[in-house]
Amino acid sequence: MPQPPAHRSRRFILKGRVRKPKSPSESDEEGGMPPKKPRLAWQETWSSEGSSRPAEDSLLAEGSSPAAESSPAAESSPAAESSPAAESSPAAESSPAAESSPAAESSPAAESSPAAESSPAADSKDESQLLDPNKARKLCKDSAMEFIEAYVRGTEKDKEAQKMLFLSKICALCRTVSEKGLTLDLHAFCRKNKLVENIMALLEKEPMDSLRTEFRQKAMETIAVLSNTVPRALHGKKESLRNACYRSVFFLPPESDVPETERALYTKTMNAMDPMLAAFVRNCPTASISAELQNILEVLLDFAGSKNSSVCERAVTRIERLSDFILSHFVAKISDYNEKHKDSHKDLRKLYIPILGQLLGHLFIVSCGTDSVSCTAFDALFRFYKIISDGRECSLTKDMENYAETHKSLKDATFPLIVMSFPCEIAEAFGGYLFPSERLDIILTALEALQDSSVHDKQGACSVLDTALEDPKYWLTDVPTIMERIRKNLDSIHTASARRCLDSLLLQLTNLMSREEVKNLLQFSPPSDSTALGMWEVVLAMPQTLQKVLNALMEDLPLRNWCTAVTEDTCIRRLAMLAQNHVSEEEFGNPVHLQSYLKHPSPAMRLMALKGLSTVSESPEKARKIQVVLPDILEALQDTNADVVLKALLVLRNVMARVERREAGRTALQLAEKLLPLFDHESSQVREHSICLFQAVTEAVLRQRKRALKRTVHSSLLPLYFRMRDQSESVAKASGEALVVAAEFLRRKELKHLAQTEQTCRIGECLLQQDGGRVEEYLQQSQPYLQDSQTVLRLEAVRFIGLAARYSGDQSEEKQNEIISVLRSSGKDVEPMVRCLAAQTIMILASRRNRTSGRRFRQLWCF
């Protein structure tokens, strides 16, 4: 089971963590909703007159900012006129369209003279003239609606000043209708002029790689105002609006890449999305809150899984802000609704959101880190815990209550007192309040996070799965669905820790599977499906698990009848049967059908067949039956997959150990010849097992001393001698023991003595002295070792070739040149020792060649 990450995370403190109400300035910065204050007479005038300065249209259409509301003087101050709330940017004021707009023409402020604007008396007179409510409403209504209609019909929609004024007029119109009670069908007006579609089109035209203006911020504020004032206008369009806002904002450059002068705009734009999402939820029917949250969170969760860290951080932040909004504004509202509808069977305090399990699983994993995203995820988890635990306290099922009681000590200790370190602890704390479908989604989310392509922390995902492994009956309630997800993802999970965690989960699932589930899995796992084979490979590796499953199956249907019609489609069932240690002779049947499995193009399939055979071959009776497929097992020794070769060696070892000597002799020669190339296999395990099996085969026919086998044993002497210097101690030991048996088989007492006493330096010379007729063969056999990956074997090869040149019967100049040519390749070896020894050997052979040539020349001269 994977170890959880070493670092420790933040305090998961519940008590006192609910955010305090922010000050008005903080609320504005965060996109919140400050307390509404009564409007003064002079404010009523401005907001209803349709002034060239649009009325304050804050994010939630709840009144102007505190600074603007503090005094009438603030209304005419330069700062107030230039603020975003006033909606009159210099560009808007100076543009020709703004000057000629109906709002400007019909505004009393626009008609007044400059002197009148600066004179207090004139202000007082002007104000007294503007107090007619009916006239004020008509002027504001006409100016805003006329401008909006003109803009929608116009062709200059992309001008920044016009776009901003368009949004401002929408806010002003909504403000007038909502605050003055104006009788106006805003829904029909919005639909006729396609206001939502126009805002969406403008958003989609915004560049995704830069943030130059306030338009995106103002667009989201306007959408929030529309949602608060005329929610019907957004019906059926919220999803498209949200997606347009997400794409427009989430893919902006990271905040660290934004110039310092644009940081404030960047922050305000990001924060503007939160009140917009809150407005969508606030203005939907109470009974539809869960569905609305589902729609919002579903898309946010997709962005939260992005490989782009900035996109992920922004999405997780939106989730955290939304959770804060739910906790702060809607828990009480839902409770009030339930009090009024006591007779209803629907308890909205549960706040059941279908995607909640996936969301929590994602947050569990993300909280494992140490960066800002993990802190944000941790804050969101805190709020969701408060929402869920408070809302579901009275609606827990029996198993949820039992789980909560079992983990009561953890809950009491961790909320709010102890430091929470790992996702598994957080998941346990949530576990008692989660429904089965939510627990399942958490498991499936963790399985998705184990994939190599996932950006999530594999240790975090493993930590979440540890929770399920500690209490599998509670968490792993839908075994078939989890098994299917494992089967789907297995081929894309290769991280060592993830595979160990997955193997542990598979074994737990196998223990929990019913007879019918196992039977279905065996029946419908196709042989060509490598992931299904991988799953069963894990199960077959644990005999006690498989034995329990197969015994349960045999209670209903004997395996003999179950596997009567063995076809390619039922191979997994047959292989599962082979792994059962207590299958009777009658049930085992004829293993001829295994030939097709051993020749299957999939290495996983061949490995599965050999795994089953390795278990079955432990029985002497079944081992004798396996001889019918021995040729196919021998062919497996030439497989390119090292695991397949190793399993084939284990099966052959069992067969050779459990059959009679007379029967063993029939295959000894063929088997020995297949084993020789494996002495130099790249896998040390294959080398060791092939040498051990060769020794067993030689011992099995030691008394018979078959003449045909002698040549093969002779060919094994030099490889065994070289492998006595193998870096793997087990291979070197096996080689020495096999050389002793080979020497005894060939009745070579001196060689046997040298091998028994491990006098490795003398064995090479002994071979050359006693086998003078095989020197050329030894020279050929030793050359490949000049390219061996082990330095010690390359050194030994150079020494042996130099020594063999002395014992060679052919001392001609041509032969000497051939040997020197072979050694020259070692002169370029990466190891200095090998290069040096090769150079010395070449020098000695060259000097001997020159002396031989000199003697021949003198002999010719004398003749």
* Helix (H) or strand (E) segment spanning residue 337: helix 331-340
Residue 309: CB partners within 8 Å, gap ≥ 6?
A: 254, 373
Task: Return the exposure string of 410-426: e unless at least 16 CB atoms fall within 10 Å of the residue's CB, then b.
Answer: beeebbeeeebbbbbbb
Residue 705 pLDDT exceeds 70: no
Q: How many CB atoms lie within 10 A of CB 123?
A: 16
Residue 434 pLDDT more than 60? yes
Top mean pLDDT of 433-447, 475-489, 620-634 is at 433-447
pLDDT tens-digit map of 349-366:
456 789 999 999 999 999
Q: End-to-end CA distance of the chain, in Å? A: 86
E strands within 103-201?
Answer: none
- What is the predicted pLDDT for the residue at 630? 84
Question: For position 129, what pLDDT does the model report?
Answer: 38
Assess whether pLDDT exceeds 80 at residue 564: no
DSSP string, 826-861: GGG-SSHHHHHHHHHHHHHHHHHHHHHHHHHHHHHH
* 678 pLDDT higher than 90: yes
Least confident range from 248-262, 330-344, 619-633, 675-689: namely: 330-344
Tokens found for residue 859? 């002999």
How crowded is residue 124: how many other Cβ atoms within 10 Å of its Cβ? 10
Distances (CA, A) of 456 to 361, 363, 423, 572: 11, 10, 13, 34
DSSP 38: P
The phi-psi region of residue 457 (left if phi > 0; otherwise alpha if psi is between -120 and 50; otherwise beta) is: beta
Closest residue by Cα to residue 410 from 391, 394, 432: 432
- Residue 4: per-residue pLDDT: 46
This prediction's pTM: 0.58
Helices marked H in 60-106: 66-69, 72-76, 78-82, 90-94, 96-100, 102-106
Predicted local confidence at residue 613, as pLDDT? 80
Cβ atoms of 61 and 53 within 8 Å: the answer is no
Tell me which DSSP letter residue 419 carries.
B
Neighbours of 146 (CB within 10 A): 17
Residue type, 449: A
Segment 378-387 shows an average pLDDT of 89
- By mean pLDDT, which of 258-262, 277-281, 525-529, 722-726 is the weakest? 525-529
